[in-house]
Chain A
Amino acid sequence: MIDQITLQVVSSAFRSICEEMGAALIRASFSTNIKERRDCSAALFDAKGELIAQAEHIPVHLGAMPDAVAAVIPEKPAAGDIFILNDPFRGGTHLPDITMVAPVEAGGRIIAYAANRAHHADVGGIQPGSMPAASVRLDEEGVVIPPTRLVAGGRLEEEILASLLRGMRRPRERRGDLEAQAGACRIAERRLQELIDSKTLSVVMAAMETAMDYSERRMRAAIAALPDGVYRTEDFLERDGADLKIAVTVTIEGEEILIDFKGTSPQEKGNLNCPMAVTRSACHFVLGAVTDPDIPPNAGALRPVHITAPAGSLVNALPPAAVAAGNVETSQRIADAVALALSKVLPLPAQGQGTMNNVTLGSEEGRTAFNYYETIGGGAGGCPETEGTSGIHVGMTNTLNTPVEALELTFPLRVERYELRLGSGGDGKHRGGDGLIRSLMMLAPARLSLLCDRRRRTRPARQKPGERKRGSRKSVDGAGGRGRGHDGNTGRRWIRSTRGVIELQPPKLVRNVKIDASGGPLNL
């Protein structure tokens, strides 16, 4: 029997270990996307691969990481090993998100796994930055890494690493980031060993169990407090031609909840497909937010939640589907849809901008080769009591922006403007937040790729007829642009589509890319 204080100290220590793992990764990494935007997450798992604790990092990573550990366990990891993977159909989500998993040994057996996931600035594929707008097959999006033993018995497998790096752009930076991920795993392992030394193995093991049971009790109580019923809704992702439908049925029955996606569009030709891990992530995020955000997020909290989706659908895609945008855009819409279904019985805010506005710029040409990835915040939806916040990330991401100064010190581009897009939030009793304007000027040739949504359908759910918010829009100045679905507008092209690839080529290098993120709609 462990006393209350020990239990709390040990479960908080699990969480601090995750936080330290994340902090070590951020501080030691080399690419802007990790060291400045903090697009990474860290978590601890027990020997069965059940989530023990995680730090508050990126929602879309967190709910999906158990699948990574589950994919590694059959490979029989031993002490001193570190596994690497990014295959969306074997524990990953989309290819830029590379996960490392390290077993922790105590008393002669594996007792836990330390895992972290980071979004790499490039993992190869047809487009620098590896977030292609136009991919149709997974292998176009980059190097696919099945669960692979990268460190064996404490020794880095140099040949494996070298072969992975060969397929990626900017190998030195990649190597640095991968070493930082492996290092962060080792830090977590050391801290867990120290905790075992000071509290004993049996106490630490018991605390894992107890913490999960505790979260389960709290989650059950929180679900029980929600009104029983069956709540159905649908929401859409924009696609040239026919829009894609996310259909969701949320069934609340006593202490349990079932989220089913029957009726959702089949997986598509493009890259909006999600592996099931991403879908689960989005559901868990919404549940965390609408129940009690203070419930320690671990496997116990997930026990009363059941998620099902038809195989081969947009939200449970099968290989070899392309998935680059599923993780960032479809995940947003899944979260929107689940929240929308629950908003029938809960006082939830209106939907926010509903996109991450993924901007990827890169070039492969010699001296100025670079890969830059950014997601741009927008408006949060109006809330039951307050206005929505402006210029902020909603839903499945919570990355930081790249500071203008960090960006210009690293990449051949200049930021011309980064300001609130005043008046873009939906009007109403509680206004939606305003979007952002971020204008970039290229100083070298580059290829631009955009992945975003909520551009045509600018009247998301829960908005009164006749009141519109301004949708997001993207423009590229100057001639020579080759975008999909843009309309010419005296030298300025508004890209009407939700995705586009544009070559920005010399001799006229100066190109101005302006991204107007949408505001959040109002609340009824």
Chain B
Amino acid sequence: MKELDRAGSLEPSGVSARSFLLGVDVGGTFTDAVLLGAGRVFRAKLPTTADQSEGVIAAARLVLERAGVDAVSVEWFGHGMTTATNALLERKGARTAAVATAGFRDILEIGRQNRPRLYDLCPQRPSPLVERKMRLAANERVTPEGEVKPLLKEEMARVAAELKNLKPEAVAVCLLFSFLDPSHEQSLGSLLRKELPGVHISLSSQILPKFREYERFSTTAVDAYLTPVVSRCLKKLEWRSKKAGLPEPAIMQSNGGVLPLHEASGRAAPLLLSGPAAGVVGALFAGALSSVDNMIALDMGGTSTDVTLIGNGSANLTDEREIGSFPVALPIMDVHTIGAGGGSIARVDAGGALKAGPESAGARPGPACYGNGGTNATVTDANLCLGYLGGSLGGNGWVKLYPHLAAGAMKRLAAELEMGLEEAALGVRQVADAEMVKALRVISVERGHDPRQFVLAAFGGAGPMHAADLARELGISKVLVPASCGVLSAMGMVAGDRRRDWVMTVLNPQGWSGRTLREAFRKLEDISAAAGMSGASFVRQADLRYKGQSHELTVRVGQPYSRARLSAVFEKAHENAYGFSFKGEDVELVNVRLAAVVALGHLRGKAAASVWNKTAGRKQGAPEGQRPAFFDGEWLSTQIWRRERVGGRRIAGPAVIEEDEATTVVPPGWAAFFDKVENLWLEAV
């Protein structure tokens, strides 16, 4: 019922003159905005600000200004963020305490008792997010048979008092069997909210109401640790967007779905991979337009690079991921992230080896060439020294670049390495490339996928600058550089399918029928409609298993609803996945899942691409000019093109194609051309 009440407060969509879709994605270095409407795409990129919401609104204003429309024209505002991931990886979350059932306060530390790497004689675990002195025990116990030890008022008061002394900013409440009976967690939660005002409380029964205590507690601890940080950010954003006259932002979740801000801000765990998920959605959109089903998405920004394998037009969702070695058992897009990007700082380590990253110069001071006081040589400085970048990012002057500062920083590094400037710059680039190749191999070669059967989809400000070299390294012969590649994550937010997911656990998994399915889906569909997903198409799924198993298989549910029919679908899926079916055994229905998908953005994005294609895209022109760039050990005279002036040509490398938010490098041996939907292709010749 709560779902319905909350949804009721949502503004109905599509009744005003609001007809533009706005997407803003915040990365570690840059904040990107895309505005989609009137068959056009508008883009903006600005440095990420310390208070991220400031940059979000600034980017939104800029893109609105470029389109010449007001905030009131914005129908929908999607937002992707990296706040949660960064806070977790950098261990900059809230001071977190935990309350566990007495006798079990170390679950968060013991984990599953195994060592992460088999042949490691000195296995090390990261220190838990909640250290032992912050972990309290509550005298209470629930078992599968019900409560065996009540949680008394005095005990709750004692726990609350002890917690107060610990001065936490967040508390994770992790009691055994709360997924069966959440009452102890709920009463403790409400007392703590009263007694510790301003302290965020995460209940494991709310975050992940499923059995297996370690995975549930870990997800809950991650949520508690991050929510204060994330909700501070989102509150500011809410306030600023209201002030700017924008609609309530919808926040991208790790699974590619979206949630309205007021629902998202109380729970950080599902937002862990918000930004990277937006990138995947963007890549899926671009790939669909160009009819590419199998691709490896490479999203290289200033701070980090995300790589994702996309097979048969979809990315894998997994709930068995660890992030920063902490299990987060919520559905997450299977994105692999490494700490190397354009802003990665190059240095010589103790052993004399050249390293790039994971430290990043960020947007401020940024690479040395930004002229904001940065003195460290970065990957971007290397690209400038090699002639791949010109006098400004994207060649349009929005971030002016100072070649002499890049050269100065690179000379210092070169002196340390006792080598020439070009050699050092090339070295920095190659070291960063090697890191990215490693990441690309992890998701392809190491999982038995041949990268040569995939297209490399390169985006993010720096992706297209490195893509051809990376592709060559992996034997990939085709690179897709999507339209709006520099801001594709923001594009994904507005042009991708808008999805929301609902799950309902079936109370009696054995005694189900077609009617159980019909009623469950009807209820979920009502919730979806009330949440403003009108006009959505539905994907109906169910999690099933044989009695006695504890892992479920998720299968599509067709109509008419019937137990016999769904059981048959399950048996077939079981045979496919596990090599057998257990004939004649009972099939249990565990969960019913509904995904509501609104393809609105997708349609408009498609329309925009085709309109754009007919107008701006086909404008032919001449190269902007040329400059020397360093390829394969020599300086070659290289044509510099504006992306929108390439038109129907096939450009042979060496060439550099600049657009406002990104730069594409076409090395010798590669050719570049556009397809019908304004996506740029690089092809090995």
**Interface-side segment among B14-22, B80-88, B546-554, B614-622:** B546-554
- What residues on B are CB-neighbors of A254 within 8 Å? none
* B445 close to A (CB within 8 Å): yes
B544 to A: closest C-beta gap in Å: 12
Given A30-B548, A398-B115: A383 in contact with B122 (beta carbons within 8 A): yes
B447, A420: Cβ atoms under 8 Å?
A: no
Given A9-B445, A172-B548, A185-B579: A56 in contact with B118 (beta carbons within 8 A): yes
- What residues on B are CB-neighbors of A56 within 8 Å? 117-118
B549, A35: Cβ atoms under 8 Å?
A: yes
Contact with A along B79-106 (1 / 0, CB 8 A): 0000000000000000000000001111
- What residues on A are CB-neighbors of B117 within 8 Å? 56, 293
A12, B447: Cβ atoms under 8 Å?
A: yes
- What residues on B are CB-neighbors of A484 within 8 Å? none
* B421 close to A (CB within 8 Å): no
- What residues on A are CB-neighbors of B291 within 8 Å? none
B448, A404: Cβ atoms under 8 Å?
A: no
* B627 close to A (CB within 8 Å): no
Contact with A along B158-186 (1 / 0, CB 8 A): 00000000000000000011010000000
Within 8 A of A (CB), among B460-507: 474-475
Complex Cα–Cα for A288 and B113 (A): 21
A180, B121: Cβ atoms under 8 Å?
A: no
**Residue of B104, B122, B475 touching A380 (CB-CB under 8 A):** B122
* A474 close to B (CB within 8 Å): no
Within 8 A of A (CB), among B87-141: 103-107, 109-110, 112-115, 117-125
B211, A339: Cβ atoms under 8 Å?
A: no
B448, A13: Cβ atoms under 8 Å?
A: yes
Contact with A along B545-582 (1 / 0, CB 8 A): 01011110100000000000000000000110111101
- What residues on A are CB-neighbors of B118 within 8 Å? 56-57, 59, 288, 293, 398
A395 to B: closest C-beta gap in Å: 9
* B450 close to A (CB within 8 Å): yes
Residue of A nearest to B553 (CB): A27
**Interface-side segment among A135-143, A229-237, A385-393:** A385-393
A346 to B: closest C-beta gap in Å: 10
* A113 close to B (CB within 8 Å): no
A349, B115: Cβ atoms under 8 Å?
A: no
Within 8 A of B (CB), among A383-438: 383-386, 388-394, 398-401, 403-406, 408-409, 414-420, 436
* A285 close to B (CB within 8 Å): yes
Given A5-B452, A5-B474, A183-B579: A392 in contact with B121 (beta carbons within 8 A): no
**Residue of A26, A385, A401 touching B113 (CB-CB under 8 A):** A401
* B143 close to A (CB within 8 Å): yes
Residue of A nearest to B103 (CB): A417
A400, B103: Cβ atoms under 8 Å?
A: no
- What residues on B are CB-neighbors of A390 within 8 Å? 109-110
B142 to A: closest C-beta gap in Å: 10
A392, B213: Cβ atoms under 8 Å?
A: no
B87 to A: closest C-beta gap in Å: 25
- What residues on A are CB-neighbors of B112 within 8 Å? 400-401
* B214 close to A (CB within 8 Å): yes
Residue of A nearest to B179 (CB): A405
B78 to A: closest C-beta gap in Å: 35
A153 to B: closest C-beta gap in Å: 16
A348, B579: Cβ atoms under 8 Å?
A: no
B580, A401: Cβ atoms under 8 Å?
A: no
Contact with B along A36-54 (1 / 0, CB 8 A): 1000000000000000000
Residue of A nearest to B583 (CB): A179
- What residues on B are CB-neighbors of A293 within 8 Å? 117-120
B215 to A: closest C-beta gap in Å: 8
Within 8 A of B (CB), among A346-401: 348-349, 376-377, 380, 383-386, 388-394, 398-401
A405, B176: Cβ atoms under 8 Å?
A: yes
- What residues on A are CB-neighbors of B123 within 8 Å? 380, 389, 392
Chain B count of residues within 8 A CB distance of the other chain? 55
Complex Cα–Cα for A377 and B110 (A): 9
B582, A436: Cβ atoms under 8 Å?
A: no
* B446 close to A (CB within 8 Å): yes
B578, A180: Cβ atoms under 8 Å?
A: yes
* A28 close to B (CB within 8 Å): yes
- What residues on B are CB-neighbors of A186 within 8 Å? 579-580
Centre residue among B109, B112, B148, B549 by max chain A CB count within 10 A: B112
- What residues on A are CB-neighbors of B115 within 8 Å? 380, 389, 392-394, 398
Given A289-B121, A406-B211: A400 in contact with B448 (beta carbons within 8 A): no
Complex Cα–Cα for A418 and B113 (A): 11
- What residues on A are CB-neighbors of B214 within 8 Å? 403
Complex Cα–Cα for A3 and B446 (A): 16
**Residue of A16, A35, A391, A419 touching B448 (CB-CB under 8 A):** A16
Given A12-B447, A392-B113, A392-B115: A36 in contact with B579 (beta carbons within 8 A): no
Given A391-B110, A400-B112: A349 in contact with B121 (beta carbons within 8 A): yes
- What residues on B are CB-neighbors of A298 within 8 Å? none
Contact with A along B334-373 (1 / 0, CB 8 A): 0000000000000000000000000000000000000000
* A29 close to B (CB within 8 Å): yes
A420, B109: Cβ atoms under 8 Å?
A: yes
* A8 close to B (CB within 8 Å): yes
- What residues on A are CB-neighbors of B546 within 8 Å? 30, 176
* A69 close to B (CB within 8 Å): no
Given A35-B551, A349-B121: A8 in contact with B445 (beta carbons within 8 A): yes
* A71 close to B (CB within 8 Å): no
A357 to B: closest C-beta gap in Å: 11
* B242 close to A (CB within 8 Å): no
B448, A9: Cβ atoms under 8 Å?
A: yes
**Residue of B143, B450, B578 touching A24 (CB-CB under 8 A):** B578
**Residue of A28, A36, A339 touching B121 (CB-CB under 8 A):** A339
- What residues on A are CB-neighbors of B585 within 8 Å? 176
Complex Cα–Cα for A24 and B214 (A): 22
Complex Cα–Cα for A289 and B113 (A): 19
Complex Cα–Cα for A16 and B115 (A): 20
Residue of B nearest to A20 (CB): B448
A9, B450: Cβ atoms under 8 Å?
A: yes
* A451 close to B (CB within 8 Å): no
Given A389-B123, A401-B110: A408 in contact with B580 (beta carbons within 8 A): no
Complex Cα–Cα for A416 and B106 (A): 13
Residue of A nearest to B547 (CB): A30
* B650 close to A (CB within 8 Å): no
* A259 close to B (CB within 8 Å): no
* A17 close to B (CB within 8 Å): yes
Complex Cα–Cα for A348 and B121 (A): 8
- What residues on A are CB-neighbors of B575 within 8 Å? 183
* A173 close to B (CB within 8 Å): yes
Contact with B along A1-16 (1 / 0, CB 8 A): 0010110110011011
Q: Give chain B's interface residues, CB within 8 Å of chain A.
A: 103-107, 109-110, 112-115, 117-125, 143-144, 148, 176-177, 179, 211-214, 441, 445-452, 474-475, 546, 548-551, 553, 574-575, 577-580, 582, 585
Excluding A183-B575, A184-B578, 10 further A-B contacts by CB distance (< 8 Å) are A9-B449, A12-B447, A28-B578, A186-B580, A187-B579, A380-B123, A404-B107, A404-B176, A415-B103, A418-B107
The 4 closest A-B pairs by CB, nearest first: A183-B579, A13-B448, A183-B580, A186-B579
Can you list 14 pairs linking A and B with CB atoms under 8 Å apart? A5-B450, A12-B446, A12-B448, A27-B578, A183-B579, A293-B120, A380-B123, A383-B121, A392-B123, A394-B115, A403-B212, A408-B177, A415-B103, A419-B105
